[in-house]
Amino acid sequence: MAMNKLVCGWGINDVDYQIQANRPYLDNGIKKYITEFDCPYYRRWSHMLMRCYSDKFKPKNPTYRNTTVCDEWRHFSKFRAWMEAMPWHGNELDKDILGDGSHYSPSTCCFVPKSVNVFWTKCDEKGSSLVGASFHKASGRYRAQCNVGKHRKALGYFNSELEAHAAWVRAKAESLAILLGSVNLEERVVRGMKRRLSFFEERLKVGELTQ
């Protein structure tokens, strides 16, 4: 089989079947196309490559600036074989739960429901602000809020940012328990979710955070 053009300048589509089929039709005399087949494996693979190697995507999404894909998955057939063995139906590809968010590979990736995929979104610290805490100008105190289940929960007002953050950590633990009780996940994914929570809990326990 002849070598195909590289996907996103890096990946190799090495399968021998058509990854998409479009049927033409007329709409008020205008020729349009309807997709009759779109390979779900190729779609996930090509989107992954786009995030890592597309010159158009990366400038608009700086969080992916240093993200890479393992050499094994440079070949589409290798990624497809891995994905076929995963619980991918209705789920999203995640690289953060099992890894540090910078690398796509069999050991750092998993398929999870959207609720799991976004659970830790926006939980990284920015500047000196602690996650879950914000200064409430009107009261002169710190307010804590957290998503618990599907609802945004107000946790109260506190005298310090650290106290508000501690309340967020407790609420996040409650939210995680609810989430894990509502979905069926691989054991390695459950461990990964709990490991992130432990990171926040341990820092509070050892007094790493100070005001």
Tens of pLDDT along the chain (211 residues) come to 345 689 999 999 999 999 988 888 888 888 887 878 899 999 999 999 999 999 999 889 999 999 999 999 999 999 999 999 999 999 999 999 999 999 999 999 999 999 999 999 877 655 447 999 999 999 999 999 998 877 889 999 999 999 999 999 999 999 999 999 999 999 999 999 999 999 999 999 877 766 5
Q: How far apart are CA 163 and CA 161, in angstroms?
A: 6
Q: State residue 34 phi and psi, 5-degree precision.
A: -120, 135
Q: Who's near 9: CB < 8 A, 6+ residues apart?
A: 53, 55
pTM (2 decimals)? Answer: 0.86
Q: How far apart are CA 39 and CA 50, in angstroms?
A: 16
